[in-house]
Amino acid sequence: MLFNLRILLNNAALRNGHNFVVRNFRCGQPLQNKVQLKGRDLLTLKNFTGEEIKYMLWLSADLKFRIKEKGEYLPLLQGKSLGMIFEKRSTRTRLSTETGFALLGGHPCFLTTQDIHLGVNESLMDTARVLSSMTDAVLARVYKQSDLDILAKEASIPIINGLSDSYHPIQILADYLTLQEHYGSLKGLTLSWIGDGNNILHSIMMSAAKFGMHLQAATPKNGTKLSLTNDPLEAARGGNVLITDTWISMGQEEEKKKRLQAFQGYQVTMKTAKVAASDWTFLHCLPRKPEEVDDEVFYSPRSLVFPEAENRKWTIMAVMVSLLTDYSPQLQKPKF
């Protein structure tokens, strides 16, 4: 039986619902901003209020408009450096972070497991203190969420979750910005998750309520942390946004045969889309395998996967600016 999460925001948030589309924004003077994120860690969206997440989306749209559309140069991070710890390989996280931080005038420093072994050659406590003395922030893409928690506890600089086995908050920010640009508002959308009960789904669960979005999820019986329904079509029914992700995450390669068997029938196809809302769209955080979604859906005009990928850059830039500076967006603040 489908567990349909229908969650409303508080009364103040419900009164807002206007468009959040970059092309409709008006430039103006810097506005007084009550949200202050400077110096904070971003480990999970659970730790942020709806207004704080909205602020990061607003700032993402502001930077995208000013830099991409107006061609402005904004060296907001000039003189700052970023430590990038990657236990897991990445295309979008690395490129978006390196190019985005550099575009804002900062210096990103990329560290792989050949450069640094968290908790192996040096304790996490010592690593956190060394990095705090040499960089202004750290983005870490790791296996264990507990490693991020220790880094955040011991560091004196912001620690940003670039991905862990539990959460992927910066991906969700990009997803929400993409949906804002397409639909004009997030409130009232139904997100239909079809796939593994993984870090992406966990992050959606921690944040969808704060925008008044509904969540319908289907996961197979494979020992994951969430099992709301086992029927993909039931989860997709009436959904505005069809979402899936990799079935085999890094570190799960030995489970490939078992997982492919468990996910039989979970491929997103036009058959899936037929039961969705008439304005359905499709998201996938990439990289994608054909067994997860077929070409007809993945390359259709309804697919937002490539704008979603680009928005990884603008949202991570907004995260860095909000955690490291006092900058306020120049664009008119959107009403949600």
Q: Which residues pair with 293 in a beta bridge?
A: 268
Tokens of 160: 């940003």
Active site residue 285: yes
Pick the catalytic residue from 285, 304, 318, 319: 285
The whole-angstrom separation of Cα 118 and Cα 85 is: 9
The whole-angstrom separation of Cα 209 and Cα 167 is: 16
Tokens of 202: 């966990």
In which element (H, E) is residue 134 found?
helix 124-134
Burial class of 316 by CB neighbour count within 10 A (0 to 12, 13 to 18, 19+): buried
Q: In what order do the strands lie in the sheet with 214-218?
A: 5-6, 214-218, 190-194, 241-244, 281-284
Residue where the block lists tokens 């968290």? 118
Angle at 88 (CA atoms; ends 84, 92), nearest 5 degrees: 70
> Distance between terminal CA atoms of the chain?
32
Tokens of 273: 């889309």
The whole-angstrom separation of Cα 89 and Cα 81 is: 21
Q: In what order do the strands lie in the sheet with 81-86?
A: 107-112, 81-86, 137-141, 159-163
Catalytic residue numbers read 285
